[in-house]
Amino acid sequence: MSWRAARLVAHRTETPTARTLVLEVPGWPAHLPGQHVDIRLTAPDGYQAARSYSLAAPADGDRIEVSVQRVSDGEVSPFLVDAYREGDPVEVRGPIGGWFVWRPQQTEPVLLVAGGSGVVPLMAMIRGRRAAGSRAPFRLIYSVRTPEDAFYTDELRRRVRDDAGLDVAYVYTRQAPEGWRGEPHRLGLADVNTHGWPPELEPLVYVCGPTAFVETVSDLLVGLGHPARRVRTERFGPTG
């Protein structure tokens, strides 16, 4: 798989430490929701560094979107979040991945479970569902530390209002918004029972987030009776 030249054509802030980048990649071959790309930077002295980022939206011609969370001691993410400017070049390789994907022809219920920036590929699925006119019922359980850490807040609110069959539930682990019922807590059995699909409906489940989060949620789901083969996972570590 070869590297392709790309440039930044637009961007928007998602949280105080994350932003979405819209890249123009001539000759982009299209992709499926859930896939990711590698982005490579080259310094003036020739030093190169590359990192993988999930695609945040369905294919749109030669344009792709990625949402990047800054890792304070990372090599790539601080530049992409704080210093990358419109018109600047990078290189992109992809799309990558064929297991952690949602296809428009799927009709079964879908449960999405995200931890922090793990919501990015799941948002691509939510957007892809709308773009395809799919009626597959979707539920998203989104665990974040505080309301300020949540990606796509306004858009998710609009989509719950406008996209029939989509439900979104938040779990706050450190600070909940004013007026929120309940106390901050880690996502647990009660959350999955309340906001997920029962195993009898045989939903397809996608879980994305830090490794410990993904392992915990996967164990909860299997313990509730969801077949392991129906639980697809994507995890990430601290490299940035």
Same domain? For 31 and 122 the reply is no
**Shared-domain flag, residues 60 and 146:** no
CATH of the domain at 196: 3.40.50.80
Domain range for 17 is 4-96
Q: What is the pLDDT along the chain (240 residues), one digit of tens a residue?
A: 899 999 999 999 999 999 999 999 999 999 999 999 999 999 889 999 999 999 999 989 999 999 999 998 889 999 999 999 999 999 999 999 999 999 999 999 999 999 999 999 999 999 999 999 999 999 999 999 999 999 999 999 999 999 999 999 999 999 999 888 888 999 999 999 999 999 999 999 999 999 999 999 999 999 999 999 999 999 986 666
Check residue 73 and give its pLDDT.
Answer: 86
pLDDT for the residue 105: 94
- Look at residue 152 in the predicted model and tell me its pLDDT: 98
Asked whether the beta carbons of 166 and 68 are under 8 A apart, the reply is no
- Whether 105 maps to a domain, the answer reads no
So what's the pLDDT on residue 72? 85
Which helix (DSSP H) or strand (DSSP E) does residue 170 occupy?
strand 166-172
What pLDDT score was predicted for residue 220?
A: 96
Whether residue 138 lies inside any domain: the answer is yes
115 within a domain of the structure (yes/no): yes
My answer on whether 13 and 78 are in the same domain is yes
Euclidean distance between CA atoms 218 and 213, whole angstroms: 8
Q: Taking a C-beta distance cutoff of 8 angstroms, is the pair 16, 67 a contact? A: no
> Of 96, 125, 150, which closes a domain?
96
Residue count (the chain): 240
Task: Assess whether 114 and 227 both reside in one domain.
Answer: yes
Residue 102 lies inside a defined structural domain of this protein: no
Q: Examine the fold and report which residue of 69, 96, 123 is the final residue of a domain before the chain moves on.
A: 96
pTM of the model: 0.95
Q: Strands 18-24, 63-69: parallel, antiparallel or unpaired by DSSP?
A: antiparallel
pLDDT value, residue 179 = 85
